[in-house]
Each structure stands twice: as C-alpha cells, then as structure tokens.
C-alpha cells in the first residue's frame, strides 16, 4: 500500500511538472510569433492565449490534487487534467488557426512543442488516473471488509 501511495505522489509531481512546462514554456519558450511592425498581433496570438488559459487551469487542477486525499476525487481530477491536455493539444492549428507559413515560429515551434508536452501530460494523467482508481478500489474493499467484520 505504501508503495502505491508513493507512486501516486510521484504521479502528482509529474503531472504538475508537465503542466508547469506547458504554462511557462508557452509563455517564454515556445510562444506565438512576435508582434507586427505596427504593434498588432498576428492570428496565432489568440492560440497562445488559449493555450496559456488551459495550461493555467491544468496547473491549478494539478496543485489541488496534492491536497485531496480521497482517491476517487484524485482520479476524477487526473481525468480532468487529461481532457484539458487534449484541448491544449488541439488549440494550435486545429481549434485556432495559426500564421500563414509553416516555417513561422508559431507553426514550426509552438504547435509541435505544445503537442509534445500535451501528449506527455495526457500519458502522465492517464497513468495517474489508473493508479488512483486502483488504489481507491483497494481502499474501499478494505473499508467493506472492516464494516462486515464489525
């Protein structure tokens, strides 16, 4: 049981780390194209903002997971994280269109980087959700056994 709790804790840390990479990476590293000469932004800026919002919610969900003890709620939060990561992956180029040419920064860097980090987040979230669901089953079956013994 201790081993499983340790695994779940590691899972929470991994999911939080990937969520932070998505948030900070999109803001500072694999961001959208810079502003035009006249100061206005290109269409990819909307996609960047949308990814930042989804990533911020992802971080929030990952942080909340640390303070929740109930395995079923933890599993639900992990599943929410997976859905958010799917949405983040779909934002650049699918939900919101990007700039004109594939060799522009938003197409060559932001889109693939957001996709890769989102896929890692999805994998981490799925593993975390499975661990939590398994653990909740063990917990509840232990409780049932105790109740029937009483």
Partner 1 sequence: MKIDKSLPYKNLAGRPGRAIALILLTSLLSLTLFAGTLVIKSLRTGLFSLESRLGADLMIVPEEAYEQSQIENIVLNGSIGEFYMDSEKTAEIAKLAGIQEMSSQFFLASANSGCCSVPVQIIGYDPETDFSVSPWIKRSLAKEPQDMDVIIGSSLNAYVGDSLYFYGKECHVAAKLEKTGTNFDTAVFTNSNTIKELMRSAINRNMNKFGDVDPDKVVSCLMVNVDKAHTAQQIRLDINKNIEGVKAVQTRDLIAGVSESLGGAADLIGGLSAAIWILGIGILILSFNLSVNGRIKEFALLRMIGVSRKRLASIIMEETLIIGIVGAVIGSLTGLFVLVQFGTLIENKLGLPFLLPGTWNLVLLAIIAISVTVLSEVLSAAYSTLRISRIDTTYILRGGN
Q: How far apart are CA 6 and CA 104, in angstroms?
A: 43
CB of 60 to partner 1, least distance (A): 27
Q: Which CB, 43 or 72, lies closer to partner 1?
A: 43
Q: Which CB, 32 or 50, lies closer to partner 1?
A: 32
Q: Report whether 56 contacts 62 (CB < 8 A).
A: no
Which spans of this chain sit near partner 1 (rule: CB under 8 A)? 33, 36-37, 42-43, 97-104, 107-109, 111-112, 115-116, 119
Q: How far apart are CA 60 and CA 64, in angstroms?
A: 6
Give the three-state DSSP class for 77.
Answer: helix
Q: Angle CA(65)–CA(21)–CA(121) in degrees, nearest 5? A: 55
CB of 91 to partner 1, least distance (A): 15
Q: Which CB, 25 or 61, lies closer to partner 1?
A: 25
């Amino acid at each position: 049981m201790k081993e499983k709790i340790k695994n779940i804790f590691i899972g929470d840390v991994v999911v939080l780390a990937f969520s932070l990479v998505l948030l900070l990476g999109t803001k500072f590293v694999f961001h959208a194209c810079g502003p035009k000469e006249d100061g206005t932004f290109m269409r990819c800026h909307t996609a960047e903002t949308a990814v930042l919002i989804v990533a911020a919610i992802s971080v929030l969900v990952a942080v909340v997971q640390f303070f929740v003890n109930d395995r079923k709620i933890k599993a639900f939060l992990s599943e929410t994280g997976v859905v958010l990561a799917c949405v983040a992956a779909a934002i650049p180029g699918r939900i919101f269109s990007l700039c004109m040419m594939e060799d522009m920064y938003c197409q060559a860097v932001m889109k693939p980087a957001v996709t890769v980090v989102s896929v890692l987040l999805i994998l981490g979230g799925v593993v975390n959700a499975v661990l939590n669901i398994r653990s909740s089953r063990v917990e509840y079956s232990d409780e049932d056994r105790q109740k029937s013994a009483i």
